[in-house]
Amino acid sequence: MASRLHQRASWLGRRWASQLAAKPPPLTPRVFPTSGFLEIDASTKMEEERMKSYKAEHFYPVRLGEVFQSQYQVVAKLGFGQTSTTWLGHDLQYVVPCALERGFVFTNAVQKNREPAVYEHMKKHAPELAPLHIRPLEDSFKVQGPHGSHEILVQVPVAKSLVASQSTADAFVLSPSIVKSSLKQVVSALDFLHSDAHVIHTGKLSPPLSRLAPWQPEPSHNMRFASFKDLNECLPSLESAELTCPRPRKVLEDRTIYGSRGVFATVGPMYLCNFGQARIGDQATGNAMATSYRAPEIILGMKWSYPVDMWSVGLSAWDMLHAQTLFAVYHSVDQKLNDARHLAYMIALFGPPPLDYLKRSDKYLDFWDEHGDWRGIVPIPHRSTFENLERQMEGEEQTRFLDFMRSLLGWEPEKRLTAKQALSHPWLLNDTYM
């Protein structure tokens, strides 16, 4: 018996050794050109520098060709957002054919980055996230920059956000068929987050197009298309293009700002992305969400929960179907005045809030008196009703859509549809307009 075990062990050892010998060695990092590109004048802002909130020390100074963890080489810049830049990375140790590229997300670590912890939490409830329309996390690690530590997230690249699609659509609006299909997938992901994982996403799912320059790549959108077959074919061409025709850049003393390359492929499944501001648990407090996407309970300093995500679904549906967003009200450095404008638009759309709802807030008296009457810090807009603003649809389709809006956008969060309920709403289910 012992002899047979010894023979078996020897055979397994030889097999393992042969597999190790057959494994291809790590790829040699590519050397990227240091000339032959358009150099932008140091006084001209480009890419992430053009954001009002930009602070250089918040961004790790990535260099093309840089290698992290002796594994991931940076080969092209894909875009940027409020707290991160996105890069295409070549995995030098990844040996599966036709899947050599991974996306890197370099996240600002000055603000607390919740994303790795949220992914770890979600995977306890569903080891495979991609079938749930949630972009999976492949790896994460920290790097030390000149101003502190930065988190790097390694994810499979996705093609483009809905905003990128919207920027090429007629009149800057998407067709109802694309919007309904996209929302079904993303609301399904939210149903998993809320019902199973107990996570509040807090992200805006489709930012207003008016805030983006038409040419500007932007990775921070939270709904993205992916067709992995086409991506596997197009990603190597991005690396080759950077080697033969490098993008413009601005060379500074402490960093280089690179021009981005877009990733476009056939439209595939939709994935919910960006969990950097997500909250684990059924309830949270404090500021969250992009300012124009904040639900009233956040503005008024109340406790908030999953309904803030459904508020975001409603605003996303509107923004994808209309060139004009509902709450483009942030034009002042005075936050109280901004909040007053935001709330005034809500009054115009929904009517005045119930007094018992207002009394949940410790700050409602800043905007209303003790009887629930508007103090008039700013005037309530006239004719800003759903019926006056909705001009894209007609008949039963419009009726169903406005009911969908009112079911998601309203003062009292407990009266908004849950993600599971929204999936059964007649507007999402009706295909006659598609």
Concatenate the DSSP letters of all residues of 137-182 into one string: P-EEEEEEETTEEEEEEEE-----BHHHHHTTSGGG---HHHHHHH
Write the Ramachandran bin of 271: left for phi over 0, alpha for psi from -120 to 50, otherwise beta. beta
pLDDT at 276: 85
Look at the chain and report how many structural domains it folds into: 1
Query: Which has more confidence, 237 or 350?
Result: 350
Question: Quick one: pLDDT at residue 156?
Answer: 77
* pTM listed for this prediction: 0.82
Query: How would you class 304 by CB atoms within 10 Å of its CB: exposed for 0-12, middle for 13-18, buried for 19 or more?
Result: buried
Residue 299 lies in a domain: no
231 in any annotated domain: yes
Is 245:32 a contact under the CB 8 Å cutoff? Answer: no
- pLDDT of 373: 97
- Comparing 102-116, 204-218, 305-319, the range with the smallest average pLDDT is 204-218
Return mean pLDDT, the chain: 82
Output the domain CATH number for residue 119. Answer: 3.30.200.20
374, part of any domain: no
- Is-contact 242 248, C-beta < 8 A? no
Q: Where are the beta strands (DSSP E) in 191-238?
A: 199-200, 223-225
Q: Which residue has the higher pLDDT, 87 or 16?
A: 87
Using a pLDDT cut of 90, give the percent of the chain over it.
48
Question: Quick check: is 204 in a domain?
Answer: no
Name the nearest CA neighbour of 222 among 73, 343, 342, 81. Answer: 81
Least confident of 157-161, 216-220, 269-273, 355-359: 216-220
pLDDT in tens, 62-110: 999 999 999 889 999 988 877 788 888 888 886 443 333 455 655 555 4
pLDDT at 282: 97
> 381: helix, coil or strand?
coil
Give, rounded to a whole angstrom, the gap between the first and last alpha carbons of the chain.
70
**Count, residues in the chain:** 434
* Lowest-confidence pick of 1-10, 211-220, 316-325, 378-387: 211-220
Are 223 and 161 spatial neighbours (Cβ–Cβ below 8 Å)? yes
Per the CB < 8 A criterion, the answer to whether 374 and 352 are in contact is: yes
Q: How far apart are CA 404 and CA 393, in angstroms?
A: 13
**Residue 430: helix, strand or coil by DSSP?**
coil
- Could you tell me if residue 195 is inside a domain? no
Domain of residue 131, residue span: 25-159+227-281
What pLDDT digit, counting tens, does each position of 172-207 carry?
A: 578 888 889 889 999 999 999 999 999 999 987 753
pLDDT(223) > 80? no
Task: Tell me, yes or no, whether 40 lies in a domain.
Answer: yes
Residue 233 in any domain: the answer is yes
Question: Residue 192 domain-assigned?
Answer: no
Q: How far apart are CA 434 and CA 431, in angstroms?
A: 5
pLDDT of residue 177: 86
